[in-house]
Amino acid sequence: MESANAGRLPLPAAQRSRRGSVVATMRPKQWIKNALIIAAAGAAGALGHDDTLGRVAIACVAFGLLASGIYAINDVRDAQEDRLHPRKRFRPVAARELDPRFATGLGLSLVLAGIVLCAAVGPLLALVGAGYVALTLSYTLLWRHLIVFDIVAVAGGFVLRAVAGGVAAPVTLSSWFLVVVTGSAVFVAAAKRHAELRRTDGQRDRRRRVLNSYSASALELIIAGASVVALSAYWVWAFSLPLVHGIPWRPLTMVPFAVCLLRYGELVQRGDGEAPEDVLLSDRPLQFAGFAWLAMFALEVHAAG
C-alpha cells in the first residue's frame, strides 16, 4: 500500500506523450555506460581489425536495449518507492503517465531484442547478455537490499559490459585491464551510495533500508580503496606493453586517468555521484580529462599500427 505522503508529492505539470514516456522510460542517456564495450576492444587494439568495429557497435546497441528493458521492468516494481524520490518521481510509471502492464511488455520486448542482437554477433555474447540480465534483475530482487553486495552487483554490470566488448571483438582481455574496470566500477557504485546517503541525511523514512547500514566514512573508505586498486592495476597494465617507437604512450595515459578519478572523487565529496551519467555529461573538467585520455590512447593505437 502506498504511503499517505506519496500521493501528495508533486508530479510533472505537463504530461508527456506516449512516445515521450517510452523514451523517458528507456533512459537513452544511460547508454553512455556502453562506452566500456568500445573501450575494452580498443584497449586490446582490436577496433581496426576486419569487422570488429561493426560487431562492437552491434554489442553496444544490444546492451543499450537490455539496459532499457531492465529499466522499464524495474520502474514498475519500484513505482511506489520512486514516488518518494525527488528526481525519480518524474519517471513515467511513477508519474502515472505509463501503464505498468505496458511498461512491463515494453521491458520484456526490449530485453528479447537485445538478446537476439547479441546472438547475431555470437552465442557467447548472448550468454554474456543473459548474464547481465540475470545480474540486474537479481539486483532488484535481492542484492540491492544487502550491504556491500549491492555495490558489488552494480559494479558487476559495468564489468560485464567490458567483458561484452572483449567477446564481441573477439579478443582476450588483459586480466589487469579487468581489474582496472572492476576497481573503477566499485568506485562509481560506492559513490552512488555515498550521494544517496547524503541526500537522505536525517530522512531515514525516505531512504532505502540498506542505506541505514552504511556510514559516510565507510563508503569513503570503499571509494578510496577502489581508486587505489584501479590506479595500481592501471599502472601495471600500462607498463606491461613495450614502448611504441620509444614513446611511453600507454603509461602517459595514466595521467588523465588519474585526473578523472580525482575529479570524480572531488565531485562525490560535494554530494554528486548518484547519477554517474549526469556527472559525466555535465562536468567540463571531467570531460576534458576523458577526452585527453581518449586522444592519447588513440595516438598510441595509431602509432602501434
Report whether pLDDT(233) > 90. yes
The per-residue pLDDT for 298 is 79
User: Average pLDDT, whole number, for the chain?
Assistant: 87
The per-residue pLDDT for 14 is 57
- pLDDT tens across 111-154, in order? 999 999 999 999 999 999 999 999 999 998 899 989 999 999 99
Scan for cell 550491504, then name that residue.
147
Q: How far is CA 226 from CA 58, 219, 221, 222, in A?
A: 31, 10, 8, 6
User: Which residues are within 8 A (CB) of 68 and not within 5 positions of it... i.e. 6 or more apart?
Assistant: 25, 26, 27, 28, 30, 31, 107, 110
pLDDT bin (cut points 50, 70, 90) of residue 230 is: very high
The per-residue pLDDT for 72 is 95
Residue 227 · residue 191 · CB < 8 Å: no
pLDDT bin (cut points 50, 70, 90) of residue 166 is: very high
The class level of CATH for 20-150 reads mainly alpha
CB atoms within 10 A of CB 205: 8
The per-residue pLDDT for 26 is 95
Mean pLDDT along residues 146-170: 94
Q: DSSP secondary-structure letter at 33? A: G
Residue 107 · residue 71 · CB < 8 Å: yes
The per-residue pLDDT for 103 is 95
- pLDDT tens across 68-113, in order? 999 999 999 989 888 888 888 999 999 999 999 999 999 999 999 9
Q: How far is CA 82 from CA 9, 78, 107, 201, 207, in A?
A: 11, 6, 18, 17, 10
CB atoms within 10 A of CB 5: 11
- pLDDT tens across 60-77, in order? 999 999 999 999 999 999
Q: Which amino acid is at 173?
A: L
Q: Rounding to the nearest 10 degrees, give the CA dihedral for residues 209, 211, 215, 219.
A: 150
- Percentage of the chain surpassing pLDDT 90? 59
The per-residue pLDDT for 184 is 96
Which of 73, 160, 77, 67 shows the shortest CA–CA distance to 113? 67
Q: How far is CA 2 from CA 6, 11, 12, 13, 212, in A?
A: 6, 15, 19, 21, 21
| Phi–psi pair at 43, nearest 5 degrees | -60, -30
- pLDDT tens across 169-182, in order? 988 888 999 999 99
User: Domain residue spans in the chain?
Assistant: 20-150, 174-305
- pLDDT tens across 14-56, in order? 578 889 999 999 999 999 999 999 988 887 777 767 788 899 9
The per-residue pLDDT for 295 is 87
The per-residue pLDDT for 238 is 87
pLDDT bin (cut points 50, 70, 90) of residue 5 is: very low
